[in-house]
């Protein structure tokens, strides 16, 4: 079976607690969607969020690794951008 993206789908078996399964089944019923689609959507959302968090950690690590003079320059640029944005929005 191919997914919408053209990739092959795979069956897998997972073990989850009954309360989680009950919530998934409730959502599936409300949406009129198969349980597997609900699970796939939830996993895609989790993967996207995980990638975003990884990028945020990398950005934070980058800025924390900067020498103090570069941090100061970044703060100054941020202040200039903030003041510019305020003037733009106030017009």
Which value, to the nearest 10 degrees, does the dihedral of the CA atoms of residues 59, 63, 65, 67 take?
Answer: 160
Residues 35-61 pLDDT 10s: 999 999 999 999 999 999 999 999 999
Whether 91 has a pLDDT exceeding 90, the answer reads no
Residues 8-44 pLDDT 10s: 899 999 999 999 999 999 999 999 999 999 999 999 9
- Indicate the domain borders of the chain: 34-90
Helix axes 35-65, 18-31, angle to 10 degrees: 110
DSSP alpha helix (H) spans, the chain: 18-31, 35-65, 68-90
**What would the two tokens of residue 18 be?**
């009954």
Which residues, 6+ apart, have CB-to-CB distance to 24 below 8 Å?
35, 38, 39, 42
């Amino acid at each position: 079976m191919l997914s919408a993206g053209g990739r092959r789908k795979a069956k897998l078996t997972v073990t989850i607690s009954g309360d989680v399964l009950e919530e998934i089944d409730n959502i599936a019923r409300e949406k009129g969607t198969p349980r597997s689609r609900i699970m796939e959507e939830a996993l895609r959302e989790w993967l996207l969020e995980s990638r975003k968090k990884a990028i945020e950690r990398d950005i934070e690590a980058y800025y924390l690794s900067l020498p103090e003079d570069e941090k100061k320059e970044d703060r100054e640029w941020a202040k200039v951008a903030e003041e510019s944005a305020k003037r733009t929005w106030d017009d």
